[in-house]
Every structure is written in structure tokens, then in C-alpha cells.
Amino acid sequence: MRIGITILFILVLLISAGKSNESESRRTDSRGTDSRETVSKLTEGRVTEDKETASNESENREYGNRESESRGTEGRGIENGESARKKSAPGEPAYNAGERLEYQIYYGPLNGGKVLMTLEPVNFGGAEVLHATALGYTTGLADRIFRIYDVYQSFMDPETGLPVKAIRDINEGSYTYYNEVIYNRDSNTVKSQLSGINEVPPGILDLISAIYKLRDTMLISSFRPGDVIEMKTYFSDKVFPISVRYGGTETIRTRMGKFHTLRLYPKSDPGRIFRNEDAITAWFSNDRNFVPLRVSLNMLVGSIRIDLIDYEGLRHELINLQ
């Protein structure tokens, strides 16, 4: 299955793809409440690990806390996002621990919700990792019509950018879904809380780490319009490929100012939700941050725009042309 979420996959599909087209376990438990408490702390600038996650730490460490293997790329279509640590002269990624990005979701003229993305250092299995969290939730009228509160978490190796653990916690109306996945780089397997141990390709990502990996890829690559970035992620207990086409540069205006950007087209599936394969457009800042500034979705039932409205902790100054 190819869901048309892809690149600001989270920025959108943590709002619209929390429900997979696949047959997923549907159950209601106490984890939704725990996630709300976790993100309440997150929005105050304090990232903490889920209490239930901590009870499984011993087993998870034994399975997944091993040395990460190196990855390569093939051709101009960079596979699984080549790490900027390998080629960038300073050896620094595009992102930075302490980074916080806040987005407003617009459905037509209406404010539909918000997305909050944070990146903090935490300890996992005796080693420091980067804890990336993406929270998407509805507000106002949209929240009264159909409440969404989705939390995605990724624990990434700071040297490779690859995830060692991922958590997906979906709360949409009466629908709930929760899963934890541990990544074992030595055996190229993942251990899913729902489906057990599964084989995966080398360098597999989750959706959140894929966004940061894309930013790293843009940091070291010289793109031509039409070039495609290919990544493989583990989503809904299956290998989920992501394809992003580079469309060139563009200057855009947002409520935050005027920015020079790189325009990207994550591949989407025409039909039930989207009009065509280029229905999703994402604009990333054309500076050393390569931060997502805007995402636009052209759907059969209207359009959605997601804009960056606030940020802090970027590695480099965000260049505003205004």
C-alpha cells in the first residue's frame, strides 16, 4: 500500500493517515490518556518517555540496542536518505537537539488543527539518542466535529539518524491504535509490539525519522528538477516506500515572512483522497536548516494548507527575505 501522506506525512497524515487503509487492530485502552499527559509536558518544553514504555525497557534494550550499520545510496534517486554525517564537511546534520516547530493546519479558510514537532536528547538503553515527537490535533470546529489527537515518536541514533525505536499512538474519534517498534540493525529486523519480529531492508526508517533524514539528504545533495529521493519506512507493520520528487526553487510568502525554498512533490495515490500524483507539495527552506515551511494538499474534497507559525532551537538562522 502506498498512502499519499509522504513527506510532511506527519504534518498531514498524522492528521489524515492515522487510520491506515490496512486492517489494523482497533481497540480502546488507557494509552490515549498517557499520550496526552506526555505531550502536555512536551508543549511546556519537557520531553519525557511514556510510563508504559519504561516497563519494557529491559527487553527492548536486549533486542535493539546494538551498533548501527552504515548505509549507502544508489544513483541520484537516493535510497533511504543518505546520512549527511558521511559527507558534510562539518559533520553536522541539518537539525539540532532542542528544535521545536509549530504548524497551523488550514482547511480552506478554517483553522483545522495544529502540528507540533520537537527534538530532544534522552537516554535509551544506556546511550544518548534524539527523541523526536510529532503531535497532531484538531482545534475549534474541526475538533467538535471529529476529534483527532495523534502522537508519533522516534528515538534516533544521533550518529546515523536511524531510529532505534518508534511509537505510534492514534486517537481519532472512537478509533484508537497503539504500537511500539524496536529496530535491530545487526539482523535487519524490527520487533513490533503487535506483530512480533519482522525482516526489513537495511537502513529502514519510521515516518518521523524519514523527515529528518530528508533534511539531511538535502544538505549534501545537488538536485536537478525531476530528481527523486527514495526512502523505505516501517509503517503499520509493513515496509512502506516513500518517493519524493524535486521540483525546483521558489520564493514564497507566509505569515512569518518571505522565504527562498526548495519545492518537493511527495508521491500521492490518485483516487480516494487525492486528485493526482502531485497533489502534495512541500516547501523547505533553502538554507542550511532545510526546515519544512509549508505543505499544500489538493484533495477531491477541498484543500489543506499547513504553515510553520513558530519555531525555536534551529541549528542555523532561518533566512527571512522580508
Q: Residues 118-175: pLDDT tens digits?
A: 999 999 999 999 999 999 999 999 899 999 999 999 999 999 999 999 999 999 999 9
Beta carbons of 316 and 286 less than 8 angstroms apart: no
Instruction: Categorize the per-residue pLDDT at 299 as very low, low, confident or very high, splitting at 50, 70 and 90.
Output: confident
Q: Residues 52-93: pLDDT tens digits?
A: 334 444 444 445 543 333 333 333 454 554 433 333 334 689
Owner of C-alpha cell 539531511: 216
* Domain definitions of the chain by residue range: 9-312
d(CA 91, CA 83): 10
Q: Supply the Cα-derived Rg of the chain in whole angstroms.
A: 18
Q: At what angle do helices 9-16 and 207-220 cross, to 10 degrees?
A: 160
Owner of C-alpha cell 488507557: 30
Q: Which pLDDT belongs to residue 168?
A: 97
Q: How much is the pTM?
A: 0.77
Instruction: Categorize the per-residue pLDDT at 282 as very low, low, confident or very high, splitting at 50, 70 and 90.
Output: very high
Q: Which pLDDT belongs to residue 159?
A: 93
d(CA 190, CA 173): 29
d(CA 169, CA 34): 10
